[in-house]
Amino acid sequence: MFKKISILGIRGLPAQHGGFETFAEKLSLFLIDKGWKVTVYCQENSVGEVFESNWRGVRRVHIPVSREGALGTVIFDWKAARHALAEEGIFLTLGYNTAVFNLLQRIKGQINVINMDGIEWRRDKWGPIAKTWFWLNERAGCWIGNHLIADHPKIKEHLATRISADKITMIPYGGDEVIEADAGLLSRYDIQANEFSVIIARPEPENSFLEMVRAFSREQRNHKLVVLGNFTPETNAFHRQVMEAASDEVVFPGAIYEAPVVQALRFHSRFYLHGHRVGGTNPSLVEALGAGCAVIAHDNHFNRWVAGPEAAYFQNEAACAELFDSLLYDLASVERMKSASRARFKERFTWEQVLREYEDLLTRWYPK
């Protein structure tokens, strides 16, 4: 008898929007290969009736929503939770941003496992109303979910202040190993393999963009810093501040969504810089380990657990500048850090490990 799972909390498949979508795609195809029947809810920015389609064996339930932005996502989550009441099997909700809606599943007696993501209400980018909403939904998710998944040991510790640790399983995010990448793709940015370092993240204050760009730009490096991200200096004061702080050796190519190009930028970089100060297991950092990047990261317990002891860490702009000064041309250290990243990736973050742990957990909680 095949098992059934419905996945909520993402925008849809195939993956186009971020880490949770990529994970949902990997998990869906993995479970189908194991004989599961998988349903994924997909947001459609349109009007009309709910309809279904099949994508690589995944049953997709498309829910039209006429509103865009955050409000549209909230409406979609509400409609998906309501639709799911008629489904059988087990439910996996990715993220707790609208966990209060999952009360419907709890009342119906459906088994719902919730991946609690990071500590969203601590992020600097949100205003007081959004932070309050996320804080309340984090609390709701802890009580409403039948079981919780934390993607980092420190996230599990945090959630254990809300609910019993016995109700929480730690499973990190996974990534693909990259053992080669097309260096020819770098020419469009006027850079050469190993002659640049890279930042790949949303350009927000909490991701230490300003500190890293200033640290690099303090002096001439004879090296490029490629800063990926959707910068809009005309309308965003922080983006403007970062770009004004940059030396002529800093390159802003914009947001890049072509996977082969992003892989080439990681694989052929001298350093991958990761400035995230909050969150759990960050997908971009895991992908950097999988590409064998030498990692320079903000010094916090989230990043240290993921990247391991051989990465280099900074607390502030001055410390980041010192790392550039001491490591940029220390090629022996660079190679040692690259090897350590690959070892750490294989130790804990391969998709094979992560997806197998998810299936084991979902099987244990599958309704009898």
pLDDT digits 0-9 by tens, 295-324:
999 999 999 999 999 999 999 999 999 999
Beta strands in the chain (DSSP E): 4-8, 37-44, 51-55, 58-64, 90-94, 111-115, 147-150, 168-170, 196-200, 224-228, 250-254, 272-274, 295-298, 312-314
Asked if residue 191 and residue 121 are part of one domain, the reply reads no
Q: Which of 62-66, 117-121, 225-229 has the lowest mean pLDDT?
A: 117-121
Phi, psi of 5 (to 5 degrees): -140, 140
State both tokens at 82.
Answer: 């309501």
Asked if residue 247 and residue 167 are part of one domain, the reply reads no
Asked if residue 263 and residue 127 are part of one domain, the reply reads no
Number of folded domains in the chain? Answer: 2
DSSP code at position 293: P
| CATH number of the domain where residue 277 is located | 3.40.50.2000
Asked if residue 66 and residue 112 are part of one domain, the reply reads yes
Asked if residue 333 and residue 210 are part of one domain, the reply reads yes
220 pLDDT above the threshold of 70: yes
Asked if residue 154 and residue 191 are part of one domain, the reply reads no
What mean pLDDT do residues 29-39 have?
97
Asked if residue 195 and residue 141 are part of one domain, the reply reads no
Asked if residue 130 and residue 78 are part of one domain, the reply reads yes
The β-bridge partners of 43 are 63
Give the residue from 139, 92, 96 showing the smallest Cα distance to 118.
Answer: 96
Asked if residue 222 and residue 136 are part of one domain, the reply reads no
Asked if residue 253 and residue 326 are part of one domain, the reply reads yes
69 pLDDT band, cuts 50/70/90, is confident
Asked if residue 298 and residue 358 are part of one domain, the reply reads no
Q: Which domain holds residue 211?
A: 183-348
User: What is the rounded end-to-end Cα distance, in angstroms, of the chain?
Assistant: 12
The β-bridge partners of 115 are 94, 149
6 pLDDT above the threshold of 90: yes
Asked if residue 305 and residue 252 are part of one domain, the reply reads yes
Give the global pTM: 0.93
CB 337 within 8 A of CB 311: yes
